[in-house]
Amino acid sequence: MLFNISPPYRFNNSLTTDLILNLKTYHGFNLVNSKLIALLPDLASFILIVDEGSFTAAAKKLDVTPSALSKLITRLESALSVKLFERTTRKLVITPTGQQVYDQAIVMVNAAQQAWELSTTDHKQATGSLTIAAPEAFLNSVLQPFVVPFLQQYPDIQLKLRVADGEIDLLRDGIDVAFKLTDKPDENLVLKEVGKTNLVLCASPEYIDKRGMPSHPTDLQHHDCLYLAETERDNVWDFFKDDEFHSMTVSGRYAVNHSQMRLTGVKNALGIGIFHDFVIAEAIEKKQVVPVLSAWTIKSNYHGAVAMQYPQTKYMPARLRVFIDYISQVLGDKLASK
């Protein structure tokens, strides 16, 4: 066969075959010229015929008949209004115009190959940037110790952590994964639960010595309480025990939406504070604070599941998959042991 094909334009034939099969099922974006969509698989087939040197060899690659490819070329020639091959009974010769079409089509397919390779790398290799959002208390008390080990295990991943205590829009804010502490997760996102969290009331031994230990939620009206002060209901604490329910509006001299600052206030006998169990566990163990009304369950917008939420995607990048798997393992162990 007589083809004028320079080596730089040679293409990976196995990938060309895959590309053709994928293009034949393409129903994607609205390109500038909709007629181009129909031409893409035919152009890819044309490249394969040139590279293989005959209809027969190319047909074997595509698992079609040589006559089917011959009809395809006739259709492509008609669409382009050019003659691509000179056909004889013994040989197939590409025309000068056919060579020009081939050269331009190769540019297109090479670009497709690069996109293919990029997507393959994205799905198989844990590389690139991840942006993670989490509430301040959870980030400091739970997630922070696992950041360095994760980055050491995956040196090609860049990690961006954001404190996010309020409502966030993952797509708008460019967040890959958001940690939520709630019993009301976003139903529009995928949810991966890694544990549970409860709210705990605590006070310092010094405060209890001075003001006494509350025995019932209604006793809190006689105590100074430290709360979040993020929303209008943050000073309303709901208590449950068996069939009994009490909603208490608490007050005090100090309110702050930073867990460590609130804990410092409690340790210094400013009052009874509300915390996630993972925030206060160490202070309780060291007897710096003591639990208050531990027989009661406290409910708010911030209790319930500890969950990762992320947008639904058919093709999850490897960097996101390894982060979810890694954190699910280490956090599951940590939260189960608290």
pLDDT of 126 reads 84
Minimum mean pLDDT range among 49-63, 131-145, 174-188: 174-188
d(CA 298, CA 142): 21
**Cβ atoms of 215 and 329 closer than 8 Å:** no
Query: pLDDT, tens digit, for every residue of 76-99?
Result: 999 889 999 988 777 889 999 999
Please give the CATH number for the structural domain made up of 7-122. Answer: 1.10.10.10
For domain 199-299, give the CATH number: 3.40.190.10
What single string gives the DSSP state of each residue in 248-303?
Answer: EE---S-B-S-HHHHHHHHHTTS-EEEEEHHHHHHHHHTTSSEEESTTSEEE-TT-
Of 190, 152, 125, 126, the closest CA to residue 323 belongs to 126
CA distances to 54, 102, 105, 334 from 49, rounded to whole Å, are 6, 10, 13, 59
pLDDT at position 11 over 50: no
> In this predicted structure, which of 6-20, 153-167, 178-192, 280-294 has the lowest mean pLDDT?
6-20
Q: Where in the chain is the domain with CATH 3.40.190.10?
A: 128-195+304-336, 199-299
Q: Can you read off the two tokens belonging to residue 283? A: 């202070």
Overall pTM surpassing 0.85 (yes/no): no
Residue linked to tokens 């730089």: 8
Instruction: Measure the N-to-C terminal CA separation of the chain; round to a whole number of Å.
Output: 74
State yes or no: pLDDT of 247 exceeds 90: yes
In the prediction, which pLDDT does 324 show?
92
Query: Please, which pLDDT band fits residue 6 given cuts at 50, 70 and 90?
Result: very low
pLDDT value for 120: 60
Name the segment(s) of the chain with CATH classification 1.10.10.10. Answer: 7-122
Q: What are residue 86's phi and psi, to 5 degrees?
A: -95, 120
Distance of CA 139 to the CA centre of its chain: 17
128-195+304-336 to CATH, choices 3.30.70.260, 3.40.470.10, 3.40.190.10, 3.40.50.1000: 3.40.190.10
Mean pLDDT of 10-18: 46
Report the distance separating Cα 143 and Cα 164, nearest Å. 13
* Average pLDDT score over residue span 177-191: 82
In this predicted structure, what is the pLDDT of residue 301? Answer: 66
According to DSSP, the β-strands at 177-182 and 304-310 are antiparallel
**Higher confidence at residue 7 or residue 191?**
191
Distant-in-sequence, close-in-space partners of 107: CB < 8 Å, separation ≥ 6: none
pLDDT at 28: 42
Per-residue pLDDT tens for 281-302?
999 999 999 999 999 999 876 6
Query: Contact 181/138 with Cβ under 8 angstroms?
Result: yes
Q: State which of 5-14, 177-186, 316-325 shows the largest mean pLDDT.
A: 316-325
| Rounded mean pLDDT, 112-140 | 78
Across the range 122-142, mean pLDDT stands at: 85
pLDDT at 164 over 60: yes
Percentage of the chain modeled with pLDDT above 70: 83
CA distance linking residue 172 with residue 96, whole number of Å: 51
Helices H, strands E: what count in the chain?
12, 14
